[in-house]
Chains A and B, each alone.
Chain A
Amino acid sequence: MEALESWMPLLTTLGKGALVIAAAVVVSIIFKALLVAVLPGEGAKVMRTAPLTASFGLFIILVYALAGIFAPWIAPYGEAEIVSTSFAPPDENLILGADQLGRDMFSRVIFGARNTVGIALLATSLAFLMGAVAGLIAATRGGWMDQVLGRSADVIMSIPSLIFSLLLLSIFGSSMFVLIIIIAIIYAPRVFRLTRAVAGDVVVMDYIEAARLRGEGLWYLIRKEILPNSKAPLIAEFGLEFCFVFLLIAGLSFLGLGIQPPTADWGSMVRDNATLISFGEITPLIPAAAISLLTVAVNFVVDWMLYRSSGLKE
């Protein structure tokens, strides 16, 4: 009997998990049907063959985007507003209860979608801008420039990204601006390497040789000949990099070194409420789950895109 009791929480959780998965499947099916109906010709055709995981991913991304954009209108309270006592349990006003300072958990989760995701997006975009431009130039120009950029990227990449960001943050402090710059610098080499590889495959094509022999300049080659043929893998890579950046920022915030209070942020929310775990409360897991869910969603979509681009080649 005792053994069974100790299994019970696990079993009920598994039961709940099954329910959640069933709900997710239903939502994905409905959302997919909706997209097929709403999107114009080509988009509907693509969606029709999409796996359920992909439509689930798209749905989640859409929900997060809406939550992030309309956060102040959705959230019942402000992100720094103290509305209750610390760790107040959920009631009809505070559907997820209050945090360690008595702020509304639900509102902070909603604002987190704006802050955490927003910063991750900014950092990823900056990393992409630097990495992709450098990668395209390196692949097209070749020679010493390619060598220098490639070696520098190798060096930066041979320091684990979390460790490197910790080092830099310890020196420059954790302002939002510094955080974005540091993460962009750490991730740009990864984007560089991939862009270099993708563009490298295109650069050896005869049509590039033909364009070079015509006397075309660097920007024409990149813009008209190389970029259109590298778009698909680069978009997928953007998704992947976003996941890495997002997880890194969440990790840093969790360590107390990322996004600083009172800004609502999922990583630091987990840290701040972690003590509740020992009382069997799942509250601190909610922001963690929010991180996980978005990353899963992006990964599902990226996985589908990669599958499509590899399948179309054959």
Chain B
Amino acid sequence: MGDVLGIVAKRLGLGLLTLLIISALIFIAVELLPGDIAQAVLGQGATESNLAAKRAELGLNDPAPVRYLRWLGGAVTGDFGVSLVSSESVTEAITPRFKNTLFLALYAAAIAVPIAIGLGVLVALFRNSLFDRVANVLTLTSISSPEFFLGYILILYFSVNTGWFPSIAKVDPDMGMAERLERTFLPALTLVLVVVAHMMRMTRAAIINLLASPYIEMARLKGTPAWKVIVKHALPNSWAPIINVVALNLAYLITGVVLVEVVFVYPGIGQLLVDSVSKRDFPIVQACCLIFAATFILLNLAADIGSILTNPRLRHPK
């Protein structure tokens, strides 16, 4: 086990390092801004004295490394500074929205993951059948469609034409669970459609890859029935690829969520990011980017560690 712990610790360290580098990148990116933040806030017409006052207020007169450390220190303790536009605390603006986004992503994942893996295994089992070919065309079509296309189609049919679900996913904190689930059904379904397609294709590839192993042929030659070949021989070895598929797609949800939130006017962090980008509200943009990147890295890290922990060769060293 010592071996495994060592590898896991190494991965964790590497993940942390990546996050650190990315935080620096995000910080430096804003540094590259033509002019500086004070200029961006006050606009071209600002007088020199106004600019100087703004710079002092924002602490822009310190050298870049000092400002980076101050920003990073704040970020670690949950303080992302204040919005340039509204002068409110960035953390306060982000927290409720981040919760909403997380809710939407988990909602979509809860539906998508079991369906996708189930269907992925099925198409792998019946590969090259008509079912597989139709599924191939459908999933290709789905991953080829931008989220806003799927989103508007769903709105058109399930909201405008039939009135089954609301087209605008308005939620507020006091809303009951059932109502919340109904209000967010269409955005969640949009995400599900895209993610299921991706995940199914990857699961299929992973399982087919596995079924070509000699030990699967051996199991068949031992007279093992088909379901047992899958459950007992293929599944224990497919955790690593499946975990990777799931993590990769959950990470994909992060990107998808931004567009879907805009389509359904959902008060999430993606919507906030887009608004802040057009308003050039850099503290919020930085904070959102850092949160998205951290989630992304965390998911990949979880997948890495999951694959290590389920690898029989590493679990039972020589």
- By a beta-carbon cutoff of 8 Å, the part of chain A in contact with chain B is 6-7, 9-10, 13, 53, 154-155, 158-164, 166-172, 243, 247, 250-251, 254-257, 267, 270, 274, 277-280, 282, 284-285, 288-289, 291-292, 295-296, 298-300, 303
Q: How large is the interface on B (under 10, 10 to 19, 20 to 34, 35 or more residues)?
A: 35 or more
B26 contacts the other chain (CB 8 A) = yes
Q: Which residues of B contact A279 (CB under 8 A)?
A: 160
Task: Give the contact stretch, choosing among B51-59, B225-233, B271-279.
Answer: B271-279
The reply to whether B144 and A163 contact each other, CB–CB distance below 8 Å, is no
Q: Take A159-B296, A255-B262, A292-B144 as given contacts and tell me if A285 and B274 are in contact as well, using a CB distance cutoff of 8 Å.
A: no
The reply to whether A166 and B140 contact each other, CB–CB distance below 8 Å, is no
Taken together as a complex, chains A and B put the C-alpha atoms of A303 and B205 apart, in Å, by 13
B131 contacts the other chain (CB 8 A) = no
The reply to whether A257 and B278 contact each other, CB–CB distance below 8 Å, is yes
User: Interface digits, B100-115 against A, CB 8 Å rule (1 contact, 0 not)?
Assistant: 0000000000000000
The reply to whether B32 and A171 contact each other, CB–CB distance below 8 Å, is yes
Interface of A is mostly: helix
B25 contacts the other chain (CB 8 A) = yes
Task: Give the contact stretch, choosing among B64-72, B73-81, B174-182, B250-258.
Answer: B250-258
Interface of B is mostly: helix
Q: Which of A154, A171, A247, A256 has a CB less than 8 Å from the CB of B18?
A: A154
Q: Which residues of B contact A247 (CB under 8 A)?
A: 144, 146
Q: Which residues of A contact B143 (CB under 8 A)?
A: 299
B155 contacts the other chain (CB 8 A) = yes
Q: Which residues of B contact A284 (CB under 8 A)?
A: 152
Q: Which residues of A contact B33 (CB under 8 A)?
A: 171
B22 contacts the other chain (CB 8 A) = yes
- By a beta-carbon cutoff of 8 Å, the part of chain B in contact with chain A is 18, 21-22, 25-26, 29-30, 32-34, 136-137, 140-141, 143-149, 152-153, 155-157, 160-164, 167, 251, 254-255, 258-259, 262-263, 273-274, 276-278, 280, 282, 285-286, 288-289, 292-293, 296-297, 300
The reply to whether B144 and A13 contact each other, CB–CB distance below 8 Å, is no
The reply to whether B254 and A291 contact each other, CB–CB distance below 8 Å, is no
Q: Which of A155, A162, A270, A277 has a CB less than 8 Å from the CB of B22?
A: A155
Q: Which residues of B contact A285 (CB under 8 A)?
A: 149, 152-153, 156
Q: Which residues of B contact A255 (CB under 8 A)?
A: 258-259, 262, 274, 277
Most buried by A among B25, B137, B296: B137
The reply to whether A10 and B161 contact each other, CB–CB distance below 8 Å, is yes
| A to B CB contacts below 8 Å, 10 in the list | A159-B289, A160-B292, A160-B293, A172-B34, A247-B144, A280-B156, A288-B146, A288-B148, A296-B145, A303-B136
